[in-house]
Structure 1
Amino acid sequence: MIKKYLSLLILAVVFLSACEKETRSLKEIEDETIQSYLRTNNLTGFTKDSTGFYFKVISLGTGDVIGYPTFVGVSQTTTSINKSVNYEFSKYNPQFNYVGYITPTSWRESMLNIRKGGELRIITPSYLAFGKDGSGSTLPGNAILDTKLSVANDADRPSYEDALIREYLTENNLTATKDANGIYYNIETLGTGAAITPTSSIKVAYTGKLLTGAIFDQALPANPLTISLANTIEGWKLAVPLIKVGGKIKIYIPSRFGYGANAQSTIPANSILEFEIQVIE
């Protein structure tokens, strides 16, 4: 009889323990997971927001104060502490929007603690991120996100874009010369043919890319483009005459000499453009 009562008592304890675990909320479970992640990886200096996300100011920034009316350019790299996630907005193609439309909420709320040019690290529980359903194939459900986020200091856009071009050249071990307009160029072959003027009609093979590496336009040597240089973007008018017919040049064009704030079908607004151009005739 005593053994029977002991068995029942043990079962009751196990049952109650199981019930206790099952009644923990998702918020409690994920908070414990985040805290364990911070301890295991020796991550310090994080502040817990009252809603449940954690953030750390890596760099305060020196630009404009960020508030809900602010228009910001955000670059970020996101992984997850419990799922397979690789989600990114390249610094060479940041996502521009008003702070109030930035998602998830943890990102925009954290931004209020820095200025433009600043950087944050944010850990967002799934219920404050993309929930149980996730977002497309990139962000699975129930993913706790670990994000490194930067806000572009673009009040002086020419200086901001010039710094990006220099970073890109350095990171890719490229050399280029900066002209008086702010366009960077590298003459690969000068050419021995006729001189080119801003009104010349030219036949060219070229590849146009964003600094992310995405090709947005191309004409191969087997099927070159014939066009008046006067009908091209300003960057071409300024840089292509640096070579002669038969020449080849690579140019890095600030957005003001490309399409500026006017987005094209495959070119986001305010994009720096990279072209490799060969003038055939």
Structure 2
Amino acid sequence: MRNLIFILIVFAGIGFGSCTKDRKCDALSVTAPQEEVDAVAQYLDKNNITATKDAQGFFYTIEASGSGDRPKSCSNVTVTYTGKLTNGTVIDDKYSKQSISFDLGDLIVGWRAGIPLIAKGGRVTLYLPPSLAYGDKPTGPIPANSILIFTIDLLKINN
């Protein structure tokens, strides 16, 4: 009897945990305000960058599409990446050569929506308006209301 109760508790915990995770991942209905979308578009035009606009308001270029399955917005993935500001300042290149794994559901909306555009072996550059990145709060070397540029290589989909 004790074993049955333990098994039920374990499965209930797994069920509740996955529900919480699913709710977090469903938060992809966020869209950037038009003025932020326009600011990203102006940056791209000024720098002669051709990128595709996503319905959520970020822009992207797929440099390599990869092959196989694409991750979901809640997948655990392994990537390398570099992040920059529009003035060229590198804000994060710690994982440009060394990989890191994480759950997409724990990340900024722009990554949750952008990484699933490619499959394993793919590379994407994301041009994220502030509301799909870190918004109006400064974060480390990132000033408030910054447009961010991330070049991401998807090495592996872990689940």
Q: What letter corresponds to residue 211 of structure 1 in structure 2? A: T
Distance 1:204 1:257 in 2: 19
Tell whether the 8 Å contact from 1:193 to 1:246 is kept in structure 2 after alignment. no
Q: 1:208 aligns with which of 63, 83, 103?
A: 83
Question: Considering only aligned residues, what root-mean-square deviation do their CA atoms show, in Å?
Answer: 1.3
Q: Return the alpha-carbon distance in structure 2 between the equivalents of residues 158 and 182 of structure 1.
A: 8
Q: How does 1:52-131 map to 2 (within 5 A)?
A: none
Amino acid at match of 2:117: L
Once the 2 structures are TM-superposed, how far is the Cα of residue 234 of structure 1 from its aligned partner?
0.7
Matched, 1:220 2:96: yes
Q: How does 1:170-209 map to 2 (within 5 A)?
A: 170-209=45-84
Considering only CA atoms, is the larger Rg found in Structure 1 or Structure 2? 1
Runs of 4+ more than 6 Å apart:
none
Paired residue for 2:125? 250
Distance 1:220 1:261 in 2: 26
Q: Which runs of 5+ in 1 are unaligned?
A: 1-156
Q: In the alignment, does 2:112 pair up with 1:233?
A: no
Structure 2: runs of 5 or more not aligned: 1-31
Give the whole-Å Cα distance in 2 for the aligned partners of 1:169 and 1:195.
26
In 2, the alpha carbon distance for the partners of 1:220 and 1:213 equals 16
Give the C-alpha shift of residue 168 in structure 1: 1.4
Residue type matched to 2:96 in 1? Answer: L
- Number of residue pairs matched by the alignment: 124
Looking at structure 2, the residues matched to 203 and 193 of structure 1 have their Cα atoms a distance apart, in angstroms, of: 15
Match of 2:37 among 162, 180, 186: 162
**Is 2:143 the counterpart of 1:268?**
yes
Offset at residue 212 of structure 1 (A): 1.1
Letter paired with 2:86:
L
Structure richer in helix, relative to its length: 2
Measured in 2, the distance between the counterparts of 1:158 and 1:177 equals: 17
Once residues 139 and 49 of structure 2 are traced to their aligned partners in structure 1, the CA distance between those partners, rounded to angstroms, is 27
Alignment partners' CA distance in 1, 2:90 and 2:68: 29
In the superposition, the TM-score normalised over structure 2's length comes to: 0.74
Shift of 1:265: 1.3
Name the CA distance, whole Å, in 1 between partners of 2:85 and 2:33: 17
TM-score computed with the length of structure 1 as normaliser: 0.43
Rounded Cα–Cα distance in structure 2 between residues aligned with 1:190 and 1:235: 18
CA displacement at 1:272 relative to structure 2: 1.0
1-side partners of 2:96 and 2:152: how far apart?
10
Tell me, in whole angstroms, the C-alpha distance in 1 between the residues paired with 2:44 and 2:109. 22
Conserved in 2, the CA contact under 8 Å of 1:188 and 1:250? yes
- CA–CA distance in structure 2, aligned partners of residues 193 and 205 of structure 1: 19
Higher RCO (C-alpha under 8 Å, 6+ residues apart): 2
SS at match of 1:256: helix
Q: Secondary structure at the match of 2:43?
A: helix
